């Protein structure tokens, strides 16, 4: 947040940066069903391994193209260790479309990392050969076979239920999850079982050296991980001959977390419309139009999504969006909502207009419902944007969505005595926000093909 030392990033001395980051190559290993990506930061070598389920045609040109794209995107995790001004692509030639996209992926996707570390990435340049593409891999999938990255939270659950009517006849839809080798998250596994859909799994083995960032003096911070997960999902989809990768990124994911010298810095950049549009162009140039990559919720608000989730009470006892459910250290991983973090507070707030107070208190029973905790008033004030440039560095909704949710929740009879809500609504009186009904219809363009469009997107064109 801007109240932290990072708020004065422009006043701090820029940390020492490495000189050059190099893409040294990637290997497709069909016998092991995996891709190995190799990079170098000055004299330090890194290797990342991404493993997939057995099966699939690893000799397909589309698989090679998808692996190449994966190689390009996973590099950002190792680049950030030293954040040099030069990225050497080695022998990997890029089209103009790919270079434009990759430049944005690094500069904007690492916007939070750069801001909080006091680094200016405007000098970042890519060096490497140019590719003049004359044809695509002409990928041809089977119809109605979407792959849905699944995190176990409100958004991905709503995507599953909205897309279910379009694939129920074939039963060919699947959830997709990426974890460390052998790891499982109860916060994903439990709601996944409720969907009744099969799960496709991939395992990502990050080079252990980069995980020792503090010990070895590397730079550290947020990377555009959704972009990396997207590339892994695309390769998994191509291996299985699927026709769509269906994300669950909503309209407000495109909103800046804050502005630094007039430039937007977005914690959720790789969930944004800008990333989605650019990645779609890269995929189309490489694979053709056979694989559709899109967010089902792109045009829709968190308020609309929360209302749809409230129609699915069978998930109430199983879903979780708290980051402490996903800690790498299993001894510190929570098996319940923590009840105090920004994500817990936002989920409670956005569901409060549509889910009864009694049900939400049951959902947060172990730690207690955030809206009943006076000590969290400042957390909610930040979510509603009452403090300038204080939106949390988290995947939470736009401040206007939070204010609308607070007003709707406070109007419920079972919330009439909620002190926090009434205090927030009084403070929000001077803000001009969209009317609730405006947040319950599409708010922007989207890329959802007609065959997968939920009713709200179809009727918007009628």
pLDDT in tens, 15-48: 789 999 999 999 999 999 999 999 999 999 999 9
Phi then psi dihedrals of residue 41, to 5 deg:
-115, 105
User: Looking at the chain, which residues constitute the CATH 3.40.50 domain(s)?
Assistant: 16-131+143-295
Q: Return the number of other C-beta atoms located less than 10 Å from residue 286's C-beta.
A: 23
* Tens-place pLDDT, residues 331-380: 888 889 999 999 999 999 999 999 999 999 999 999 999 999 999 999 99
What is the rounded distance in angstroms from the CA atom of residue 387 to the CA atom of residue 378?
Answer: 9
pLDDT tier at 10, thresholds 50, 70, 90:
very low
Predicted model pTM: 0.93
Are 201 and 54 in contact by the 8 Å Cβ rule? The answer is no
50 beta partners:
35, 204
CA distance to 86, 97, 232, 382, per residue, from 103 (Å): 11, 10, 19, 31
The yes-or-no verdict on residue 5 having pLDDT over 70 is no
Task: Calculate mean pLDDT across residues 38-59.
Answer: 94
Q: What are the E-state strand segments in 2-68?
A: 20-29, 34-41, 44-51
- Report the alpha-carbon distance of residue 376 to residue 367 in Å, rounded: 13
- Give the pLDDT confidence score for residue 3 in this predicted structure: 37
Burial of 271 from C-beta contacts in 10 A (0-12 / 13-18 / 19+): buried
What SS3 class is residue 283? helix
What integer best gives the mean pLDDT of the chain? 92
pLDDT in tens, 295-337: 999 999 999 999 999 999 999 999 998 989 888 878 888 889 9
Q: Which tokens sit at 125?
A: 């340049």
- The whole-number pLDDT of residue 462 equals 53
Class level of CATH domain 16-131+143-295: alpha beta
Dihedral-angle region of residue 55 (phi above 0 means left; psi in -120 to 50 means alpha; beta otherwise)? left
Task: Provide the b/e sequence for 124-156 (b: ≥16 CB within 10 Å).
Answer: bebebeeeeeeebbebebeebbbbbbbbbbbbb
**How confident is residue 54, by pLDDT bands cut at 50, 70 and 90?**
confident
């Amino acid at each position: 947040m801007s109240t932290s030392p990072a708020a004065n990033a422009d006043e701090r001395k820029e940390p020492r940066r490495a000189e050059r980051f190099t893409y040294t190559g990637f290997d497709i290993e069909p016998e092991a069903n995996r891709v190995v990506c190799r990079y170098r930061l000055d004299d330090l070598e890194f290797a990342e391994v991404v493993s997939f389920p057995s099966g699939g045609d690893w000799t397909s040109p589309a698989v090679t193209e998808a692996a190449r794209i994966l190689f390009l995107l996973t590099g950002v995790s190792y680049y950030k260790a030293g954040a040099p001004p030069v990225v050497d692509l080695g022998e990997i030639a890029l089209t103009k479309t790919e270079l434009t996209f990759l430049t944005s992926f690094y500069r904007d996707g690492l916007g939070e990392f750069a801001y909080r570390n006091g680094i200016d990435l405007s000098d970042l340049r890519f060096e490497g050969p140019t590719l003049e593409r004359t044809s695509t891999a002409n990928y041809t999938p089977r119809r109605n076979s979407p792959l849905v990255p699944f995190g176990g939270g409100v958004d991905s659950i709503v995507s599953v239920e909205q897309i279910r009517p379009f694939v129920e006849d074939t039963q060919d839809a699947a959830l997709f999850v990426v974890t460390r080798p052998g790891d499982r998250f109860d916060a994903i596994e439990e709601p996944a079982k409720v969907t009744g859909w099969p799960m496709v799994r991939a395992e990502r083995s990050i080079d252990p050296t980069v995980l020792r960032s503090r010990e070895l003096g590397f730079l550290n911070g947020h990377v555009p991980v959704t972009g990396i997960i997207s590339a892994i999902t695309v390769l998994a989809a191509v291996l299985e001959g699927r026709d769509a990768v269906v994300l669950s990124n909503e309209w407000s994911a495109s909103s800046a977390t804050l502005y630094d010298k007039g430039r937007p810095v977005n914690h959720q950049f790789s969930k944004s419309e800008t990333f989605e549009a650019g990645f779609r162009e890269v995929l189309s140039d490489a694979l053709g139009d056979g694989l559709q990559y899109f967010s089902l919720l792109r045009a829709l608000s968190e308020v609309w999504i929360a209302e749809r989730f409230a129609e699915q009470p069978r998930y109430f006892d199983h879903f979780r969006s708290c980051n402490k459910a996903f800690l790498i250290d299993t001894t510190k991983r929570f098996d319940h909502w923590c009840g105090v973090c920004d994500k817990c507070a936002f989920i409670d707030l956005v569901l409060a207009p549509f889910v009864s107070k009694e049900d939400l208190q049951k959902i947060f029973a172990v730690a207690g419902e955030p809206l009943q905790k006076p000590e969290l008033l400042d957390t909610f004030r930040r979510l509603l944007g009452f403090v300038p440039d204080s939106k949390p560095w988290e995947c939470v909704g736009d401040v206007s969505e939070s204010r609308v949710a607070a007003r709707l929740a406070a109007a419920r009879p079972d919330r009439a005595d909620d002190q926090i809500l009434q205090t927030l609504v009084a403070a929000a009186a001077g803000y001009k926000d969209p009317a609730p009904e405006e947040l319950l219809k599409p708010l922007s363009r989207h890329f959802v093909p007609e065959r997968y469009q939920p009713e709200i997107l179809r009727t918007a064109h009628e």
